[in-house]
Chain A
Amino acid sequence: MSTLAYTLTDSATMLRRDLRRLRRYPSMTLLLVGMPIVFLLLFVYVFGGQLGAGFTSGPGSRSAYLDYVMPGILLITVAAAAQGTAITVAMDMTAGIIDRFRTMAIARSSVLTGHVIASVIQALFGLAVVLAVALALGFRPSAGPVAWLAVIGLLTLFTFALVWLSAALGLAAKTVETASNTPMVLTLLPFLSSGFVLIATMPAGLRQFAEYQPFTSVTEAVRGLLSGTGAGSNAMAAVAWSAGIALAGYLWAQHLYNRRRAR
């Protein structure tokens, strides 16, 4: 077999291991998927009546807000899954088995690749559950099949990017506790974007930040696609952001992994 074939085989082996571990540790997936659902219920039923009044007046304002907030909730789901990556990577790095992997003649990148792909699968599962709940609550997007594919593609790409970044955060953390705390910034960023309220309602400094941060580009692109108005230039920005974050996260993670001293 060629080097590339070995890399693929080893990564697939690691992916199988990581997915098995996720299944054996379901409370984490439950927590990571549960959080965005709680936010969804909170924002639609507690804040939705009032926040929705900014979009439509009258009894339809809550469902108008549900339509508005869904991209934000989906990105919270992605951010939560990324937080899970940091935790599982840190758990692995503090356990003895990682030293075994490092003394074996396996594709060096396969350990991280396995984690990253497992997390992307976990995130896609989470997105499906959250979407199902939203549909049950009355979310009716007007996207066609092509737009849906674009939404899935954009979200997967952005997840991939955040997960690499989070894998690096997990490697940088010395303990599992730190690893579960640092990526919390990622779950905060959707709130500082156009995900939950109109950017125009924010004060000056925050408004500029919200306008030019990646979560806003992805939110706007997904929102455009779901509402049937198209993604426009936001799609390009979202893809560019994703590619940039993925590359930076990947390089940082590889650097930390190769530099890492034995336990």
Chain B
Amino acid sequence: MSSGPAITVAGLSKSFDGKVVLDGIDLTVAEGTIFALLGPNGAGKTTMVQILSTLIPAGSGQVRVAGHDVVADPDGVRAAIGVTGQFSAVDDLLTGEENLRLMADLHHLGRGRGRARVAELLERFDLADAARKQVSAYSGGMRRRLDLAMTLVGTPRLIFLDEPTTGLDPRSRRAMWRSIRELAASGVTIFLTTQYLDEADELASRVAVLDRGRIVAEGSPGELKRRIPGGHVLLQFAAPEAWKSAAGLLGPVSGDEENLTLQVPSDGTVASLRRLLGRLDDARIEVEQLSIHTPDLDDVFFAVTGRLSTEPVRVPEKEATLR
């Protein structure tokens, strides 16, 4: 197998009808790793996946995927990759099993091998009971699982996952994360896009932040989070005296005297909280309430672009009712 990087992109740009969607992207994805492209809606994530997966041509720049140039040898790329898009790419009129058989046939697996692979994937993605049901009757989570299973029929070396958990309920989201980790553990390279920092943090070894078609930050999740001042503990005091003494004790921290709150920078670990509360206790300062704020995509954005992301970031838990 080729030992070079799974994906190399140099100076990639793309515009639609004069509107620049991607503007000079450079990135490298090492083989066997999970790479996350993080950004709000409209940042250009899907366009990026569409170019890398040969769906649309690049405007300019060099793109090599799985050792093949996307322009010179799109079929070479296609033979090595699997794509699970943002919108489910399943056939509603077929059953789950028929969808998988269709993929097995298109990969020329042959009758016996195809059948075995389909049965294995139905089992692995918990779809065996619904195998003979038409996909139009599937739930959102089942459709996503089938979608990913269809992508895996041809055992691709590199998988693109475009917002794989958007719109999923928390349980399905966890299940999807587990599947993604299992895949990565088996040596598959994964290129995933997401709007959620926690998802990138949970899965990826490397994250690039995409904003208005440019990569504004890149690094490991740890490196990125260190650049974010958004993580803090919010202390709420009952009395103005307590607020004043705490403000004096903790030094230059931002606070709100009227509401009697203080924002103390924190990485959110138990040890640091214990230290903070210990200091307040020692000084006999009573804290009424405490809340922990972990950095989210907006904080990353604020840190690297100096402004909030153009669209409000949605919290996945709130979407549990959507399919």
The answer to whether A and B come from one shared complex is yes
> Across the A-B interface, how many residue pairs have beta carbons closer than 8 Å?
63
Q: From residue 104 to 163 of chain B, which have CB atoms closer than 8 A to chain A? A: 105-108, 134, 150-151, 154
Residues of chain B from 75 to 95 with CB closer than 8 A to chain A in the complex? 75, 78-79, 81, 83, 85, 87-94
A140 within 8 A of B: no
- Across the interface, do B81 and A103 meet the contact criterion of CB distance under 8 Å? yes
Cα distance, A258 to B90, chains bound together (Å): 21
A78-101 at interface with B (beta carbon < 8 Å): 95-97, 99-101
Pick from A16, A95, A102: contact of B55, CB under 8 Å: A102
Question: Does B201 sit within 8 A of A, measured CB to CB?
Answer: no
- Residues of B with C-beta under 8 A to A16: 105
Given known pairs A13-B102, A106-B106, the reply for A20 and B85 (CB within 8 Å) is: no
Given the complex of chains A and B, what is the CA–CA distance between A101 and B107 in angstroms? 11
Q: Is B53 an interface residue (CB 8 A)?
A: yes
Whether a CB of chain B sits under 8 angstroms from the CB of A105 is yes
The reply to whether A10 and B54 form a contact with Cβ atoms under 8 Å apart is no
Chain A residues in 8 Å Cβ range of B54: 102-103
Nearest B residue to A102, CB-CB: B55
B53/A13 in contact, CB under 8 A: no
Give the shortest distance, in Å, between B61 (CB) and chain A (any CB): 18
Interface contact A105-B75, CB-CB below 8 Å: yes
Measured in the bound complex, the distance between the Cα atoms of B50 and A261 in whole Å is: 10
Interface string of A6-35 (1 = CB under 8 A from B): 100110010011001100110000000000
Of the candidates B83, B87, B91, B107, which one forms a contact with A103 in the assembled complex, judged by CB atoms under 8 Å apart?
Answer: B83
A21 CA / B93 CA spacing, docked (Å): 6
Q: Is the CB of B78 within 8 A of A103?
A: yes
Kindly list chain B residues whose C-beta atoms are within 8 Å of the C-beta of A1. Answer: 108
Q: Smallest Cβ distance from B162 to chain A, in angstroms?
A: 10
Given known pairs A10-B106, A102-B55, A262-B55, the reply for A21 and B85 (CB within 8 Å) is no
Closest beta carbon of chain A to B242's beta carbon, Å: 57
Are the C-beta atoms of B78 and A21 separated by less than 8 Å?
Answer: no
Contact yes or no, B150 A100, CB < 8 A: yes
Per-residue contact bits, chain B 41-62, to A (CB 8 Å; 1 contact, 0 not): 0000000001001111000000
CA distance A104 to B156 in the complex (A): 10
Q: Mark A44-76, 1 if CB is under 8 A from B, else 0.
A: 000000000000000000000000000000000
Interface check B69, CB cutoff 8 A: no
Q: How many whole Å from B171's CB to the nearest CB in chain A?
A: 23
Determine which of B56, B134, B151 lies in contact with A262 in the assembled complex, contact meaning CB atoms within 8 Å: B56
B79 touches A105 (CB 8 A): yes
Q: Which residues of B contact A261 (CB under 8 A)?
A: 56
Q: Report how far A24 CA is from B134 CA in the complex, Å.
A: 10
CB distance from A202 to the nearest CB of B (A): 44
Which residues 99-158 of A have a CB within 8 angstroms of B? 99-106
Whether A97 and B108, one on each chain, are in contact in the complex, defined by CB atoms closer than 8 angstroms, is: no
Separation of A97 and B99 alpha carbons in the complex (Å): 10
Q: How many residues of A are counted as interface, with CB atoms below 8 angstroms from the partner's CB atoms?
A: 25
Nearest CB in chain B: distance from A108 CB, A: 9
Contact A104 B78 (CB under 8 A): yes
Do residues A96 and B85 form an inter-chain contact, with CB atoms below 8 A? yes
Residues in B with CB closer than 8 Å to A10 are 106
Closest to A13 in B: B105
Closest B residue, CB atoms, query A101 = B106
Say whether, besides A24-B134, A262-B50, A99 and B85 are in contact (CB < 8 Å): yes
B43: min CB distance to chain A, Å: 17
Q: Is B98 an interface residue (CB 8 A)?
A: yes
Least Cβ–Cβ distance between B85 and chain A, in angstroms: 6
A20 partner, pick from B53, B83, B98, beta carbons under 8 A: B98
* A9-B93 contact, Cβ under 8 Å, with A20-B98, A99-B83, A103-B83: no
Q: In the complex where A96-B85, A99-B85, A105-B78 touch, is A25 in contact with B93 (Cβ < 8 A)?
A: yes
CB distance from A162 to the nearest CB of B (A): 24
Contact partners of A97 in chain B: CB under 8 A: 89-91
A95 to B88, CA, bound (A): 9
Q: Which chain B residue shows the least CB distance to A10?
A: B106
Q: Which of B75, B91, B107 contacts A21 (CB 8 A)?
A: B91
A263 CB to nearest B CB, Å: 7
The answer to whether B91 and A104 touch across the interface, beta carbons within 8 angstroms, is: no
For A21, list chain B residues within 8 Å (CB).
91, 93-94
Distance (whole angstroms) from the CB of A182 to the closest CB of chain B = 24
- Closest A residue by C-beta to B51: A262
- Closest B residue to A21 by beta carbon equals B93
- Pairwise interchain contact A13-B89, C-beta atoms closer than 8 A: no
A25 CA to B94 CA, complexed, in Å: 11
Which chain B residues in 191-247 approach chain A with CB under 8 Å? Answer: none
> Nearest chain B CB to A93's CB is how many angstroms away?
13
Contacts of A6 in B (CB 8 A): 108
CB distance from A174 to the nearest CB of B (A): 15
B75 — which chain A residues lie within 8 A by C-beta?
Answer: 105
Give the complex CA separation of A56 and B143 in angstroms.
63
Q: Can you name the residue of chain B whose Cβ is closest to the Cβ of A22?
A: B93
Give A263 to B150 CA distance when docked, in angstroms: 20
**Apart from A95-B92, A99-B89: 17 A-B pairs, beta carbons within 8 A:** A1-B108, A6-B108, A13-B105, A16-B105, A17-B91, A20-B93, A24-B93, A96-B89, A97-B89, A97-B90, A100-B85, A100-B150, A100-B151, A103-B54, A103-B81, A103-B83, A263-B87
Q: Which 8 A-B pairs have the closest CB atoms?
A: A100-B89, A96-B89, A105-B79, A105-B78, A262-B55, A96-B87, A13-B105, A24-B93
